[in-house]
Structure 1
Amino acid sequence: MRHRKRGRKLGRDAAHRKATLQNLAKSLVHYEMIQTTDAKAKELRKLADRLITLGKDGTLHARRQALAVLQDKELVGKVFDDLAQREEIAGRQGGYSRIIKVGNRNGDNAPISRISWVGATLESTEDLRYPAHIRELIETEEVVEEGEEE
């Protein structure tokens, strides 16, 4: 029986699982939208919502608890000063992240989900997901109409 055994093992030992979830949390705070497997996204949701709750608390102790997870002062500042203060998130009592099922991965047919903060869209996170030099290439790239020859 599996009574009172909370959480998914994700095929890893405890230290590897903790490191994986910390790295996923860092990526989610930085990019505000990431794609991963369903099981990892569901486990990450618990950690991400806890970080926002700490950000809404705003105390020094809460900052130190968030720093223990994220291990980056800039990301902790983003959680406390930006993410937790957004009106979509600040007015809620919980459920700060959203999981959307995307489909299956080509290589091993694993179910893939996109996890993001409530209110984040593909358009609003484009600046975070692509570096400036890549965005310039996308914007300056000329589209050749069908039937036109170069």
Structure 2
Amino acid sequence: MRHRVAKKKMGRPEGHRGSLEKNLAVSLIIHEKIETTLEKAKFVKPFVERVITKAKKGFSSSDKIIVFNTVKELRKAIGNEEAIKKLMDNIAGRFEKRAGGYTRIIKTGNRDGDNANTARIELLPAEKKAETPKVEKKKSVSKKTEKKEKKNDK
């Protein structure tokens, strides 16, 4: 029985599972979307969310020590300099005002060959500023003035 088990084992030993998580996260950060099996997408989503939240902490700070420590944590978590640079420069700024939910999973059907459920996991685009449409105000005409106008027209 798997009571109170936090993570899926993905049918792999611990070291292979960690490498899979890091590699999927790096690919997602660099390419901003990847297509994989549904289980792997669900497996990597919380990890990527935590990494982006760490990057936001370093991006929003002007203190060099906090930025240094954030980069150090990211190196430990994902270990790819290209991905860390993209996280700190582009992605953290994009999600600066967002409180979570940086990724989405879209199911894409079954794969030919082994009939595995596939899904595309992608980073959300930057939030666009909502444009408020200008609404023309209509002149409200009271019933009394309408009746007066009708009487005048007759």
* TM tier relative to shorter chain: 0.7 to 0.9
Alignment pair present for 1:77 and 2:72: no
Q: What is the CA RMSD across the aligned residues, in angstroms?
A: 1.2
Conserved in 1, the CA contact under 8 Å of 2:55 and 2:70? yes
Secondary structure in structure 2 of the residue aligned to 1:82:
helix
Q: Any idea what the Cα deviations from partners look like across 1:64-114, whole Å, max 9, x if unmatched?
A: 11111221222111101110101xx22211111110000101011110000
Normalized against structure 2, the TM-score is what?
0.73
Query: What is the distance in 1 between the residues matched to 2:115 and 2:27?
Result: 23
Q: Any idea what the Cα deviations from partners look like across 1:11-57, whole Å, max 9, x if unmatched?
A: 10100000111110110011110001111101110111011101100
Query: Residues 25-36 of structure 1 correspond to what in structure 2 (within 5 A)?
Result: 25-36=25-36
Query: What is the distance in 1 between the residues matched to 2:89 and 2:21?
Result: 22
**Total equivalences in the alignment:** 118
Conserved in 1, the CA contact under 8 Å of 2:111 and 2:117? yes
Gap regions ≥5 residues in structure 2:
59-66, 127-154
Q: Residue 9 of structure 1 aligns with which residue? A: 9
Runs of at least 4 residues of structure 1 off by over 4 A? none
Q: Percent identity?
A: 42
Q: Choose which of 94, 103, 110 in structure 2 pairs with 1:104.
A: 110
Highest Rg: 1 or 2? 2
* 1:2 Cα deviation after fit: 1.6
Gap regions ≥5 residues in structure 1:
121-150
Query: Residues 1-150 of structure 1 correspond to what in structure 2 (within 5 A)?
Result: 1-58=1-58, 59-86=67-94, 89-119=95-125
